[in-house]
Every structure is written in C-alpha cells, then in structure tokens.
C-alpha cells in the first residue's frame, strides 16, 4: 500500500508570479533548437513544471511548440492544488493540468520539461539533485534522437532578461543568455537572472564571472556599432566572444538577442 508520504508531490510551493509572454524568449528558443526532435516523436509531450498562480505560460507554450511540432501536447504541473483547480477551465485539446512536483506525475517520459523560475528559491546545493531527478524522467536517446530536453532558468517579471540551462538525459549541455537588447546597458546586466546553479558563482575566479567580464569588454569594443542599433552591436560583440568562448549558436539566434555557450565552459568550479 502506498503511504501518504510516498505519494506527496516532491518540492515546495513557489511564489507563483507569472505574466503573459513572460517566457516567450525561452519558448521561441526551444521551438527553434528542439523543434526537430519534437517533430520526430510519435507523441511529443512537454511539461510546464511549476507554471505558477495562473496558467498563461502553459497555454502559450502549447501554441509556440505547435508552430514547430503540430502534434505536441503540454501538461502543466503545479505543486499547489488550488492553482491546478484554477487552471482546469483552460484545458483544451493538447493541454491538461496536473497536481505534482519534481516527480512529474505523468506515465510518459516527456520530450521536454520547462522549469522556469522554479529553483530560484532553493539552496544551491539542492540544484544538482533536482536536475538529476528531472533528467532521469526525460525521453531516452535513440538511434534517431538525442532524447528529451530539460530547460531550467530564471527571468524577470516581464521576460526582458532571461538565462537558462539546457540539459539532456546525460546532464547539462549549454547556457543561454537572452534579452530585449534595448533594456541592457551592458551584457553583465543579465547576471541578476543567472539560474541558481550559477548566480552565486558570479565572483572572480569562476568561469561565469570571466565570461560576463569578457562579454562586457566585447560590448564596449563594439560601441561604434551602436549607431546601427543594439542588435548590430550585440552581434559584433558575440563574434568577438567566439574567439575565446565556445559559442554554440550562430547569427540567426544572435539576432534574437541570444547567445548560447557550452555548459562545460561556464560550469562552477568544485568547492573543497
């Protein structure tokens, strides 16, 4: 017989802050870089984990994923039962809401788990365990697929600044910095939105600190491009970054105000 403790959702209730279009930058990136994987799946399932006090992010995720993968389904998962009840009227074909947490209470292995602004309230030393648990639930790699994707990160209240980590079944793959470029004075303004695994590592001697320092220097060196707009300045700065950092994307994504870097280059150094 299953005990009450064993059936209790794993995790703690978040603040639940949410706004329409808050996660649009993350969603568009997911559709662009993971859309082919979702299209190849027979029954692509995405989980919006910890969607908050209102269901807007799950509703929007379904619409954005279906531009890339028309068969995609979304399951919104929340640990607070009242939030699930409030979201139920928004269910439709391809969109349902479930009570749960990090255990992800669905029978399928999801092809995507998006956890935005969920781990910010946790201690840094808890992040690796949560990542491992969520990655273990992802769809497994096959001959034709790299497996599922976990996207975990943090953004501001209106979605202008966002940083996220992408992980597969094998672990962390990359870190993406994304912004509405007109809102930035310098790239290191994004430091306040670093995910929990990195935000306390933005100090001298840590790779993420060195990356943001170099990004600011490249941004300053590209000041002459500002007359053509913030986008052209950003693209020039990222081109300079490519000399010393393993940037994983290209101009098509840079134009969106994004830059993605291999996780290994920014991973925190061990603490002894």
Q: Could you tell me if 190 and 179 are in contact, meaning their C-beta atoms sit under 8 angstroms apart?
A: yes
CA-wise closest residue to 194 among 267, 249, 132, 254: 267
Asked whether residue 180 carries a pLDDT value surpassing 90, the answer given is: yes
Domain hosting 117: range is 4-181+257-262
CA-wise closest residue to 45 among 24, 23, 68, 75: 75
Residue 113, in any domain of the structure: yes
Residue 219, in any domain of the structure: no
**Across the beta sheet with 161-168, what order do the strands follow?**
95-99, 73-78, 45-49, 112-116, 149-155, 161-168, 171-179, 258-262
Query: pLDDT tens for residues 56-83?
Result: 999 999 999 999 999 999 999 999 999 9
Sign of CA dihedral 131, 134, 140, 144: negative
Residue 96, in any domain of the structure: yes
Q: Specify the pTM.
A: 0.94
CATH number at residue 79: 3.40.50
Looking at 1-5, 6-10, 16-20, 139-143, which range is the least confident one?
1-5
Work out how many domains the chain is built from and give that number: 1
Averaged pLDDT of the chain: 94
**pLDDT class for 6, splitting at 50, 70, 90?**
very low
Position 14 scores a pLDDT of 80
Query: pLDDT tens for residues 105-118?
Result: 999 999 999 999 99
Position 165 scores a pLDDT of 98
Rounded distance, CA 161 to CA 195, Å?
Answer: 12
Summarize the confidence of residues 116-131 as an average pLDDT.
95
**pLDDT class for 272, splitting at 50, 70, 90?**
low
Residue 128, in any domain of the structure: yes
Residue with tokens 């672990």: 171
Rounded distance, CA 169 to CA 138, Å?
Answer: 6
Buried b (16+ CB within 10 A) or exposed e, 154-184: bbbeebbbbbbbbbbbeebbbbbbbbebeeb
Query: Half-sphere exposure (CA, 13 Å, Cβ side) for 117?
Result: 22
Asked whether residue 2 carries a pLDDT value surpassing 70, the answer given is: no
Residue 270, in any domain of the structure: no
- Dihedral, CA atoms, 237, 243, 245, 251, nearest 10 degrees? 50
Residue 33, in any domain of the structure: yes
Residue 209, in any domain of the structure: no
Residue 53, in any domain of the structure: yes
Position 129 scores a pLDDT of 97
pLDDT greater at residue 17 or residue 124 = 124
């Amino acid at each position: 017989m299953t005990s009450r403790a064993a059936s209790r959702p794993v995790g703690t209730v978040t603040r639940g802050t949410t706004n329409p279009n808050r996660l649009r930058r993350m969603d568009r990136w997911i559709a662009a870089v993971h859309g082919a994987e979702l299209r190849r799946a027979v029954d692509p399932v995405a989980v919006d984990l910890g969607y908050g006090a209102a269901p807007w992010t799950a509703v929007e995720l379904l619409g954005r994923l279906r531009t890339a993968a028309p068969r995609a389904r979304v399951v919104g998962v929340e640990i607070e039962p009242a939030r699930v009840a409030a979201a139920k009227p928004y269910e439709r074909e391809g969109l349902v809401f479930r009570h749960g947490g990090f255990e992800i209470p669905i029978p399928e292995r999801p092809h995507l788990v998006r956890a935005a602004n969920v781990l910010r309230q946790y201690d840094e030393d808890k992040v690796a365990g949560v990542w491992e648990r969520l990655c273990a639930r992802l769809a497994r790699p096959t001959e034709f697929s790299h497996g599922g994707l976990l996207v975990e990160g943090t953004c501001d209240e209106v979605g202008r600044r966002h940083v996220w980590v992408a992980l597969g079944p094998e672990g962390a793959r990359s870190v993406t910095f994304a912004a509405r470029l007109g809102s930035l004075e310098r790239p290191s303004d994004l430091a306040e939105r670093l995910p929990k695994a990195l935000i306390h590592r933005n100090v001298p001697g840590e790779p993420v600190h060195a990356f943001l320092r170099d990004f600011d220097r490249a941004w300053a060196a590209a000041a002459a491009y500002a007359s053509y707009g913030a986008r052209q300045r950003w693209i020039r700065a990222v081109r300079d970054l490519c000399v010393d950092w393993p940037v994983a994307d290209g101009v098509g994504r840079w134009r969106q105000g994004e830059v993605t870097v291999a996780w290994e280059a920014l991973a925190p150094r061990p603490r002894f």
